[in-house]
Structure 1
Amino acid sequence: MLSNSEIEKIPVSNFVRESGLVGVWCTNAPSHVEAVTEQFFQSWGLKYVATWYWVKVTQGGEAIRPYGSQTEKRPYERIIFGCSENRRFKNPPPDMCVVSVPSAIHSQKPPLVEVLQEYLPEQPACLELFARYLLPGWTSLGNQVIDLQHLSLYESSACAPPPLSSATTSTAR
């Protein structure tokens, strides 16, 4: 966990190309939303473009919890987008929703690669800070990047090679 002042000091502008797009996953706390749109983007040399919402639903399509009051946890999170002033590509439109069943793994966000494709160049150079898993073609930085690559999170399939211990045992016969 980093404070807003620590996040603001991250030199994001060093990683953003002239036509770059930055997406920030944000809690629903008004102080965090304001920090991203008013402080972070200004410090990073970006302008606010849009806010999208990740709506978390059950497998039956219902919100995972009631929308409730301002003080209760909500069934959605925000993705706030900023871009460099000289951006040559179409910007994400405001108020879009990404709807998905959340992972059982705490704080795992859905990959946005496909839904952002029309707002990125053909061969984008993408970077995820505070990453929790690897994405093909992306640079992922964080202290938990490979946590979700652990074998215990995957199921064996008929096409998969046998585990090394089985292969070693069968070849020793």
Structure 2
Amino acid sequence: MNYQLMTNEDLGSVPLGQFLNPGALVAVWCTNSESNMETLEKKIFPQWGLDYIGRWFWVKVTKYGDPVCHFNPPPGRQPFEQIVFGKRLSNKIHEDDEKIPWEDGKVIASVPSAIHSHKPPLSGTIIVFIETGLP
């Protein structure tokens, strides 16, 4: 299956920051390329007014719980994908920020969907990190 990929420049040109409220959480699925992740963290997130807060790993497993392929040295194929998170800075500190620490490096394991590039739902996992009731 072929589909068009975005370059880092294309992604950086999206004016996402102008649509984000203080405290907004942004998740970006990223390839396992360290240069792409570094560009996202050091260039694109600042353009959008985001602070990098960490990344999570989605390990793709078979129905028996085994990785779908071997872990390989970069740039080889990996049985995981990465989700990079950024948070929009707010002008004030919210009490909830102190109560719920971010879990950097979290690992999620699931059987991939039969639909190519379909990602697992994260809403149930990240709901505790989403601020509610902000002005």
Q: Please give the range of the TM-score, normalised by the shorter of the 2 chains.
A: 0.7 to 0.9
Aligned to 1:72, what secondary structure does the other structure show?
coil
Which gives a bigger RCO, structure 1 or 2 (Cα 8 Å, sep 6+)?
A: 2
Which residue in 2 is equivalent to 1:65? 69
- Whole-Å separation in 2 of the counterparts to 1:46 and 1:111: 23
Query: 1:1-173 counterparts in 2 under 5 A?
Result: 1-86=5-90, 88=94, 89=97, 90=100, 92-122=102-132
CA deviation after TM superposition for structure 1 residue 121, in Å:
3.2
Aligned to 1:99, what secondary structure does the other structure show?
strand
Question: TM-score of the superposition, structure 2-length normalised?
Answer: 0.85
How large is the Cα RMSD of the aligned pairs? 1.7
Aligned to 1:31, what secondary structure does the other structure show?
helix
Equivalent pairs, count = 124
- Whole-Å separation in 2 of the counterparts to 1:99 and 1:29: 20
CA deviation after TM superposition for structure 1 residue 92, in Å:
2.8
The one-letter code sitting in structure 1 at the alignment partner of 2:83 is I
| Cα 1:123/1:54, change in 2 over 3 Å | farther
- Whole-Å separation in 1 of the counterparts to 2:131 and 2:116: 31
Residue identity (%): 33
The runs of 5 or more residues in structure 1 that have no matched partner are: 125-173
Moved more, 54-63 or 80-89: 80-89
Aligned to 2:49, what secondary structure does the other structure show?
coil
Q: Could you tell me whether the CA contact under 8 Å between 1:49 and 1:91 is conserved in 2?
A: no
The runs of 5 or more residues in structure 2 that have no matched partner are: none
Aligned to 1:68, what secondary structure does the other structure show?
coil
Larger Rg: 1
Runs ≥4 residues deviating over 3 A:
87-91, 121-124
Which residue in 2 is equivalent to 1:166? none
